[in-house]
Amino acid sequence: MADRNYLIPMERFDNSEYIEDRVSAAPQEASGSLRTTLTYLYLSSGPINLPRPRLKKSEPFLDDAERILVRWLQTRTNGSERKNYGAPALSAARCQRYRCEHCGHADIRVLHLDHIEGRKNAGGGFACLCANCHMLKSRKHDWSGHAKT
Ligand SMILES: [Zn+2]
């Protein structure tokens, strides 16, 4: 059972009003950074990378789920995993509303981004899966020799 403290409510997505409410509640010196972080997390057309100084400045104004989520994503769009993931990985996760695209599991602590060979849609080659579905898929591939899909 997912812990609701680690879910991202659906109503935050593509909701500029929600983002501006959060931004206006933060001190002015953090408001620009917080806006960047929240649009990076929640807008379909939001930024596809998040500079580390902006992440750091906005962190105190994020909730626990957002703090975990944004570190996970920022490593992949700007940090050490950028080469292996990049913007398409963020787009895939954001487009899935940070839920497993196979079973719908929504606890962000167990989300993985799985490389999909040959996928050409908006996900750009990544699937957002929970740890369980990711493992089941990998094992099926490892043990049966089925082609990875
Ligand atoms: Zn799943």
Using one digit for the tens of pLDDT, what is the confidence trace for 35-45? 999 999 999 99
Residue 52 structural domain: 4-144
The pLDDT, as a whole number, for residue 122 is: 45
Is position 72 within any domain? yes
Tell me the mean pLDDT in the region 55-73. Answer: 97
Tally of domains in the chain:
1
Ligand 1 (single-atom ion) residues, CB below 5 Å: 100, 102-103, 105, 130, 133
Tell me the mean pLDDT in the region 86-97. Answer: 96
- 141 — pLDDT class (breaks 50, 70, 90): confident
* Cα(42) to centroid(ligand 1), Å: 21
Rounded CA Rg of the chain: 16
* Cα(136) to centroid(ligand 1), Å: 9
The pLDDT, as a whole number, for residue 123 is: 44
**Residue for token pair 């609701």:** 4
* Cα(99) to centroid(ligand 1), Å: 8
Main-chain dihedrals φ then ψ at residue 85, nearest 5 degrees: -125, -80
* Cα(118) to centroid(ligand 1), Å: 21
Residue 145 confidence (pLDDT) above 90: no
The pLDDT, as a whole number, for residue 1 is: 53
Is position 66 within any domain? yes
Distance CA 22, CA 35 (A): 8
Tell me the mean pLDDT in the region 96-121. Answer: 88
Is position 149 within any domain? no
**Closest of 98, 96, 95 to residue 109, by C-alpha:** 98
Tell me the mean pLDDT in the region 97-113. Answer: 97
The answer to whether the CB of 106 falls within 8 A of the CB of 117 is no
Tell me the mean pLDDT in the region 4-31. Answer: 96
For the chain, give the mean pLDDT.
91
* Model confidence, pTM: 0.88
Which class for 84: exposed (0-12), middle (13-18), buried (19 or more C-beta within 10 A)? exposed
The pLDDT, as a whole number, for residue 57 is: 98
To the nearest whole percent, how much of the chain has pLDDT over 90?
81
Q: How far apart are the first and last CA of the chain?
A: 28
The answer to whether the CB of 125 falls within 8 A of the CB of 88 is yes
What is the dihedral sign for C-alpha 119, 8, 82, 100?
negative
Q: DSSP for 51-62, please give it.
A: -HHHHHHHGGGS
